[in-house]
């Protein structure tokens, strides 16, 4: 058994700053009191311990207090992505079989009709029923569930346990070090593993989180250059905007700023060189929802020497390349093992094992060099990474082929200066229609970032002998 993170942190450092948002700051003791009161209120509203519920809301303190209340009740939290379409949210809510969806009042319109909801405001107004809050948690207890896109087009609900999150946080701090003065700038969504892991590290490390509701490049530039924050997690499109801001204002990162943890794929050499000039240390990382954030991280001093590498596995983690037999520079599927790896899934994939002989098969292709540095060659085959968001073509193809005028559809990624990659679609029609009608169909059923940037009408799609779509050849149709 391990301590309830929220109670233990408030006991150890009650007066230390825990959270700052838009000029207001809460200590760990204050956060404990609010979250316990929310737990009492949820109990009054019929939420029982160990329930599976879903949560959707903006990255604001109100969301954090609800999440921590659910932790007190040992609920399994399905964290819903605010960017998803109603159809996508409906799938996750139904697949996870949640008892209720806790929703920020302003996000109620995002949910499908007939969803069993509980508004944040209802919780906050309710008279609480005091209960005994558990002071200890089991390492095997599922804390969070996040849906990740899959090659089948059906997202999988990934379980993340107390043990997964703790081992991930401890491995991270062994890599970056820790100071009582550290402040983590959180400008990534709390419904992503990158955002949630920042909150969990705060509870375990005892460091302050400065929270942004959404990414603000000017605010980040000010915080980084002034020394207000010391660590930040981001993706390439965010880094480029921060670099522009520093350069245009003749600023550099404060000596107090420790590092940027950069995810979502390799960063361009130009970004790394520009970061060096403004004293902004960059640590590229490799991780996924199934690994509760980072698995490997590249030290900032190796950023140029090992350009394109995701670094070495963190302390508790192991990485090997399938069928490489330990030989360097042999490409194969990246396999991961460690206490940070999910024990499995929920819903329709609940019977599927997450590992084979203890190893998570990531589906990513890569190699290890002679020094043990990981290089990711192909992110999960057809995966498109757009602004740090993972997009599987199969999801978009399923939506396109649900259109009454489309016979076949193929989707791939193409380079984009702003987002890194964006999806484009190739469709074979069976009835006459327009691109505008198809775009409207996509907007109705897909998150905005998944809507194809371009749609091309073609006579046929490239397929192999077994009639399987060859997505890598789709771009050849442009010629």
**Domain 170-378 identical in fold to domain 385-478:** no
**Token pair belonging to 475:** 């771009």
- The tokens of 303 are what? 């950023």
Q: Which DSSP string do the residues of 162-229 spell out, in sequence order?
A: HHHHHHHHHHHHHHH---TT-EEEE-S-TTSHHHHHHHHHHHHHT-EEEE-SS--HHHHHHHHHHTS-
Can you give the pLDDT at residue 60? 98
pTM of the entire predicted model: 0.87
Name every residue whose Cβ is closer than 8 Å to that of residue 35 and which is 6 or more positions away in sequence.
6, 65, 68, 69, 71, 72
What are 156-182's pLDDT values in tens digits? Answer: 999 999 999 999 999 999 999 988 899
Q: Tell me which residues of the chain have a pLDDT lower than 70.
A: 149-153, 378-381, 464-468
Rounded distance between C-alpha atoms, residue 388 and residue 368, angstroms: 23
Residue 343 has which token pair? 């024990």
Is the sign of the CA dihedral 391, 397, 402, 405 positive or negative?
A: positive
Rounded CA-CA distance 394/101 in Å is: 27
**Can you identify the CATH homologous superfamily of domain 385-478?**
ANL, C-terminal domain (3.30.300.30)
Q: Given this model, what pLDDT does residue 71 score?
A: 98
Q: At a CB cut-off of 8 Å and minimum separation 6, what does 329 contact?
A: 367, 368, 369, 370
Query: Which residues are 146's β-sheet partners?
Result: 158
Q: What is the Cα–Cα distance from 212 to 220, expressed in whole angstroms?
A: 9
pLDDT of residue 364: 87
Q: For residue 213, how many C-alpha atoms fall within 13 Å in the half-sphere facing its CB?
A: 7
The structural architecture, per CATH, of the domain 2-137 is 3-Layer(aba) Sandwich (3.40)
Domain residue spans of the chain: 2-137, 170-378, 385-478
pLDDT at 152: 59
Pairwise CA distance, residues 475 & 411, whole Å: 10
* CA angle centred on 317, ends 312 and 323, rounded to 5°: 75
What is the per-residue pLDDT across 76-86, written as a single tens digit (0 to 9) for each?
Answer: 999 999 989 99
- C-alpha to C-alpha distance for 13 and 27, rounded to whole angstroms: 9
Hunting for tokens 């804390």 — which residue is that?
143
Which pLDDT belongs to residue 378?
66
Non-local (6+) Cβ contacts of 213 within 8 A are: 21, 58, 59, 60
Instruction: Give the DSSP letter of residue 350.
Output: T
- Residue 385, pLDDT score: 87
Look up the CATH architecture of domain 170-378.
3-Layer(aba) Sandwich (3.40)
């Amino acid at each position: 058994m391990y301590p309830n993170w929220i109670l233990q942190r408030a006991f150890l450092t009650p007066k230390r700053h825990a959270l700052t948002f838009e000029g207001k700051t809460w200590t760990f003791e204050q956060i404990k009191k609010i979250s316990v009161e929310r737990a009492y209120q949820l109990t009054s509203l019929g939420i029982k311990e160990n329930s599976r519920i879903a949560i959707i809301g903006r990255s604001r303190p109100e969301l954090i207090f609800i999440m921590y209340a659910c932790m007190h009740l040992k609920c399994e939290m399905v964290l819903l992505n605010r960017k998803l379409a109603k159809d996508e949210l409906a799938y996750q809510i139904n697949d996870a079989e949640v008892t209720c969806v806790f929703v920020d009042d302003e996000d109620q319109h995002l949910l499908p009709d007939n969803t069993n909801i509980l508004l944040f405001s209802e919780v906050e107004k309710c008279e609480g029923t005091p209960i005994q809050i558990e002071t200890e948690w089991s390492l095997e207890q599922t804390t969070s569930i996040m849906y990740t896109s899959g090659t089948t087009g059906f997202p999988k609900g990934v379980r993340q346990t107390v043990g997964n999150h703790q081992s991930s946080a401890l491995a991270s701090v062994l890599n970056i070090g820790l100071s009582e003065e550290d402040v983590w700038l959180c400008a990534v969504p709390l419904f992503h593993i990158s955002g949630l892991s920042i909150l969990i590290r705060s509870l375990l490390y005892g460091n302050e989180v400065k929270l942004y509701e959404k990414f603000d490049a000017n605010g980040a530039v000010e915080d980084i250059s002034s020394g207000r924050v010391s660590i930040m997690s981001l993706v390439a499109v965010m880094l480029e905007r921060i670099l522009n801001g520093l350069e245009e204002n003749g600023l550099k990162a404060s000596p107090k700023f420790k590092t940027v943890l950069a995810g979502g794929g390799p960063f361009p050499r130009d970004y790394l060189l520009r970061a060096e000039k403004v004293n902004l240390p960059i640590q590229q990382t490799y991780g996924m929802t199934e690994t509760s954030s980072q698995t490997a991280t590249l030290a900032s001093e190796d950023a140029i020497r090992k350009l394109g590498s995701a670094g070495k596995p963190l302390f508790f983690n192991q990485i090997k390349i399938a069928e490489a037999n330990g030989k360097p520079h042999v490409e194969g599927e990246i396999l991961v093992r460690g206490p940070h790896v999910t024990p499995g899934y929920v819903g329709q994939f609940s019977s599927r094992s997450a590992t084979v002989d203890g190893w998570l098969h990531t589906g990513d292709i890569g190699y290890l060099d002679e020094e043990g540095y990981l290089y990711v060659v192909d992110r999960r085959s057809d995966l498109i990474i757009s602004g740090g968001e993972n997009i599987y073509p199969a999801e978009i193809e399923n939506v396109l082929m649900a259109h009454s005028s489309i016979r076949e559809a193929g989707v791939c990624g193409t380079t984009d200066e702003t987002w890194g990659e964006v999806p484009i679609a190739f469709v074979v029609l069976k009835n006459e229609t327009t691109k505008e009608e198809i775009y409207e169909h996509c907007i109705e059923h897909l998150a905005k970032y998944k809507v194809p940037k371009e749609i091309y009408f073609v006579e046929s799609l490239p397929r192999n002998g077994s009639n399987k779509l060859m997505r890598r050849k789709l771009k050849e149709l442009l010629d």
